[in-house]
Chains A and B, each alone.
Chain A
């Protein structure tokens, strides 16, 4: 069945671009990935994101980003890629000794 091919040759909504949705739960909090929506343009994506991911005041702000614009790290390379951050104990406060009984902070 030709379910969603429109009369003028337009295709169904799922062939609209995919947008990733980020929500900010409250002022001052970081934005967090909520999911995705299909939409024709940014304004439409914003409206769909509100209806799908913020029906109960879950967000005070929204970001929508074309999924195709996101570059993600590859899990297979995660070891070597993040390695520079894993072997530097001196970047953590626990690395440093303080005289007993002194409160540094």
Chain B
């Protein structure tokens, strides 16, 4: 067949090759042909994930100045810095799909992008730092361990890097919880209160129930997702209940019972109305988080401008010296 500039590309053959790769468990790399829909779904998932890392810095950044000891403060600063790094790993991965981080940033700043609903809850006490590390990072690890085997190579590699670092996050969180659990009655009460507030939002982090998750089937078929939302949620509950029991905490769910037949911890119904409200932008801190992110971005502008100006000056100087 004669090739003309407008000749239609034979997508069915390309698609067959793509599907065969997926079926064989091979990873898809940036320069490989991929269906537009695969590219779109990954861009959506990865950019939301990157945004979540960035917004996730805010609830914890809120407590850096009030950490109870230098040791806790150093850990918290390192953790928040890691979250920035994680955001950058994933933005870098997303850019391999042909989008510009600049556009993704702007979608976050103008409120059109989504990020994890958990970060729209306030951090009211120091115990929240422990509970976020333990539950929120714990849930993220369950999710990301599976994503480390996702079919898109750059995403999988970013996840491997992130998973290694998240383990420190979870352990530092659990250490805070265990310390408070061994503390005064007031400290124990503060910890239990934090668990009561963060338990259900943590379960919501895995996304809507499988029956209400319109994208899941396709993402599973493409091996972008390797486990369903409900499977991951169950795994998190099974892992977390013994950790709560070990330090004498009560998880705020009267329906939580061990099912001897399935070997799972059965849990009560999640308040999905709340979940969808927070996703829509009506959570307790949605506006505050966006305002804080915009302020940080605006306040940092002079640094970006200075870096650009410095590079231009260096370039000009190099040119003069060469002449």
Residues of chain A having any CB pair with chain B under 8 Å: 1, 3-4, 6-8, 10-16, 18, 35-38, 40-41, 44, 51-52, 55-56, 72, 74-76
Closest A residue to B310 by beta carbon equals A40
The verdict on A75 contacting B297 (CB below 8 Å), with A3-B109, A35-B92 known, is no
Contact, CB under 8 Å: A6 / B305: yes
24 interchain pairs (CB within 8 A)?
A1-B106, A3-B105, A3-B109, A3-B110, A3-B297, A4-B102, A4-B105, A4-B301, A4-B304, A6-B304, A6-B308, A10-B304, A11-B102, A12-B102, A12-B105, A14-B105, A35-B88, A35-B158, A36-B92, A36-B95, A40-B310, A75-B29, A75-B31, A76-B33
A45 and B200 CA atoms in complex are apart in Å by: 41
List the count of A-B residue pairs having beta carbons below 8 Å apart.
79
Question: What is the minimal beta-carbon distance from A63 to any residue of chain B, in angstroms?
Answer: 16
A11 and B101 CA atoms in complex are apart in Å by: 13
Closest A residue to B93 by beta carbon equals A35
State which of A4, A7, A8, A75 has its C-beta within 8 Å of the C-beta of B106: A4
| B189 at interface, CB cutoff 8 A | no
State which of A6, A16, A37 has its C-beta within 8 Å of the C-beta of B301: A6
In the complex, chain A residues whose CB is within 8 Å of the CB of B106 = 1, 3-4
Residues of chain B having any CB pair with chain A under 8 Å: 29, 31-33, 78, 81-82, 85, 88-89, 92-93, 95, 100-103, 105-106, 109-110, 157-158, 161, 165, 294, 297, 301, 304-305, 307-311, 314-315
Closest A residue to B33 by beta carbon equals A76
Closest B residue to A56 by beta carbon equals B165
A76 and B31 CA atoms in complex are apart in Å by: 9
In the complex, chain A residues whose CB is within 8 Å of the CB of B311 = 40-41, 44
In the complex, chain B residues whose CB is within 8 Å of the CB of A40 = 307-308, 310-311
A16 and B305 CA atoms in complex are apart in Å by: 11
Top 5 nearest A-B pairs by Cβ distance?
A14-B102, A40-B311, A14-B101, A41-B311, A36-B92
In the complex, chain A residues whose CB is within 8 Å of the CB of B78 = 55
Contact, CB under 8 Å: B89 / A52: yes
